[in-house]
Amino acid sequence: MSNYQTLLMAVDLSEDSHAVAAKAAALRDAYGATLHIIHVIEPLSFAYGGDIPMDFSGIQEEIHQQARTQLTAFGEKYGVTEANRHIVLGRPEVEIHALGEELGVDLVVVGSHGRYGLALLMGSTANGVLHGATCDVLAVRVGS
Ligand code: AMP
């Protein structure tokens, strides 16, 4: 098996993200690879669209600011340089694929909850990332 050279870990900034980050950082160290981190912010307009005639820009900027603060803490804890920390607006699976291709990553690391029943039918980000991925994907079991 060839060594992984460029890794991308996707974090939703929940407590579970530490399990994902710890695995990704261990792989980075084992392979001597470069590690990038992505957090995707879903625009409020995706959820509330034209239903609520409201300007979301202030709240959106606040969400962005909080994400920046949390991602900085994550990056510092797991040794990801500032240039390799990415905050993107959009749908998580779409943006994770897009950044992965842009950076030429050879492994994407995501968290995966053991889902069943309705939740399984509704799908998950890990499934979305796996489908259509052009590189390997590691799904780290998180939560319960
Ligand atoms: P979920 O399927 O939404 O429970 O998320 C499972 C995993 O997908 C998380 O542990 C992250 O690795 C990734 N993920 C979910 N949401 C985001 C997000 N907004 N930005 C980046 N990664 C995410």
* Ligand 1 proximity of 8 Cβ (cutoff 6 Å): no
The answer to whether the CB of 109 falls within 8 A of the CB of 140 is yes
Per-residue model confidence (pLDDT) at position 123? 65
Kindly give the distance from the C-alpha atom of residue 67 to the centroid of ligand 1, in angstroms, as a whole number.
Answer: 14
Give domain status of residue 56, yes or no.
yes
Give domain status of residue 43, yes or no.
yes
Give domain status of residue 1, yes or no.
no
* pLDDT surpasses 70 at 122: no
User: What CATH number is given to the structural domain containing 130?
Assistant: 3.40.50.620
Among the listed ranges 15-24, 38-47, 97-106, 120-129, which one has the minimum average pLDDT value? 120-129
Give domain status of residue 53, yes or no.
yes
Neighbours of 20 (CB within 10 A): 25
Per-residue model confidence (pLDDT) at position 108? 98
For a mutational test of ligand 1's pocket, the pick from 7, 12, 80, 96, i.e. the residue with the most ligand atoms closer than 8 A to its C-beta, is 12
* Ligand 1 proximity of 12 Cβ (cutoff 6 Å): yes
Average pLDDT, the chain: 90
Question: How many structural domains is the chain composed of?
Answer: 1
Give domain status of residue 33, yes or no.
yes
For residues 11 and 22, what is the distance between their CA atoms, to the nearest angstrom?
A: 11
- Ligand 1 atom with the smallest distance to the CA of 42 is 19
58-88: pLDDT as tens digits: 888 999 999 999 999 999 999 999 999 999 9
The answer to whether the CB of 20 falls within 8 A of the CB of 96 is no
Q: Which domain holds residue 34?
A: 6-141
Residue range 109-118: average pLDDT?
79
What angle, 0 to 180 degrees and rounded to 10, lies between the N-to-C axes of helices 57-78 and 17-31? 40
Per-residue model confidence (pLDDT) at position 5? 98
